[in-house]
Amino acid sequence: MNLDSKFVWMNGALVPQEKAVVPFLTPALHYGTAVFEGMRAYNTSKGSAIFRLKEHITRLFASARIFGFLALPWTEEEVIEGSKAVVRENGFTECYVRPLLFAASGHMGLNLLGIVPGLGIAAWEWKGFVSPEAETAGLRANVSSFTRHHPNVMMTKSKLAGNYGNSVLARTESARLGFDEALMLDPTGLVAEGTGENLFAVRKGVLYTPHRATVLEGLTRDSVITIARDLGYEVREEALTRDQLYVADELFVCGTAAEVLGIRELDFRPIGTGVRGPVTTRLAEAFRRAATGQEPRYADWLDHCNK
Ligand code: PPE
């Protein structure tokens, strides 16, 4: 993955990437005390546009509030403008955008009181999230031996950096076992989500996705639900079990980094026909058209980066 860019927005201004560094004694590095977002800019006929930018920044501030970063020296509007500036000034047409709000200084200790927050926004061209083969045929996945967070252990509605230790455990185990991705069960044993994506099952033409109780309220999930309903599919948010996944006609995960990716095999069981299914393909294509500004009804989802 090439993380290069010319500029990073740090605490209100663009600086050259090599100057966007933090000291070793940054509390966030030691305790995972940071909240972040992941967004994508897409190439549209009117130039680059960030998909669902406002909602992502609202969620960044919600993550901060949930975790307990209360008085912040930046407004949502400044972070929105900063995100657009990072895409524009780096000259990217399509890229991934990563705002991160972190415990920058103040003291080293398990307490946010007296902590001084820092905020950076970086962008890079994140291509090839999975192999081209996995992208078209679908992923091979396992159900992780690690459980997703209980919502009163870690705050699952906050994109808290520290939460991702759980995802790293699951994804690393999955990769070592030879799979592309892990699906995670919540503490009651019901299906939650992927390590960095929400999950959908398709059965007899109906889409099912776990309700929002223990998962991140993904914006791609929300977009897929809207697009699917507009295409005439029934979508049900309800509890799903591991064995319901095994008998689904199709499974797919979706998220900003992953976009929409089919799952062709779960725990060595082929899903449906064993290749990415037609509903998944249709939704992946419709999502891409919406994100690249080719569907006027979803024009509100795009924030153009040009001045
Ligand atoms: N669940 C989790 C746990 C999650 O991290 C993400 C995003 C989603 C669901 C989907 O949310 P949304 O992007 O709003 O549709 N994961 C981010 C980080 C992934 C990574 O590998 O890093 C992302 O996709 O940007």
Going from the Cα of 249 to the center of ligand 1, the distance in angstroms, rounded, reads: 24
Q: What is the pLDDT at residue 185?
A: 98
| Nearest CA residue ID for atom 1, ligand 1 | 197
Mean of the per-residue pLDDT values for the chain?
A: 97
| Nearest CA residue ID for atom 4, ligand 1 | 196
Q: What is the pLDDT at residue 204?
A: 98
* 50 pLDDT higher than 90: yes
Kindly list the protein residues whose Cβ atom lies closer than 6 A to any atom of ligand 1.
38, 193, 196-198, 216, 218-221, 255-257
- What is the 3 state secondary structure string of the chain? CCCCCCEEEECCEEEEHHHCCCCCCCHHHHHCCEEECCEEEEEECCEEEEECHHHHHHHHHHHHHHHCCCCCCCCHHHHHHHHHHHHHHHCCCCEEEEEEEEEEECCCCCCCCCCEEEEEEEEECCCCCCCHHHHHHCEEEEECCCCCCCCCCCCCCCCEHHHHHHHHHHHHHHHHCCCCEEEEECCCCCEEEECCCEEEEEECCEEEECCHHHCCCCHHHHHHHHHHHHCCCCEEECCCCHHHHHCCCEEEEEECCCEEEEEEEECCEECCCCCCCHHHHHHHHHHHHHHCCCCHHHHHHEEECCC
What is the value of pTM for the model shown?
0.97
Contact 96, 257 (CB under 8 A): yes
Instruction: Give pLDDT tens digits for 223-240.
Output: 999 999 999 999 999 999
Going from the Cα of 39 to the center of ligand 1, the distance in angstroms, rounded, reads: 9
Catalytic, 84? Answer: no
* 214 pLDDT higher than 90: no
Instruction: Give pLDDT tens digits for 15-36.
Output: 999 999 999 999 999 999 999 9
- Mean pLDDT throughout 252-262? 98
* 213 pLDDT higher than 90: no
Confidence class of residue 41 from pLDDT cuts 50, 70 and 90?
very high
Going from the Cα of 216 to the center of ligand 1, the distance in angstroms, rounded, reads: 8
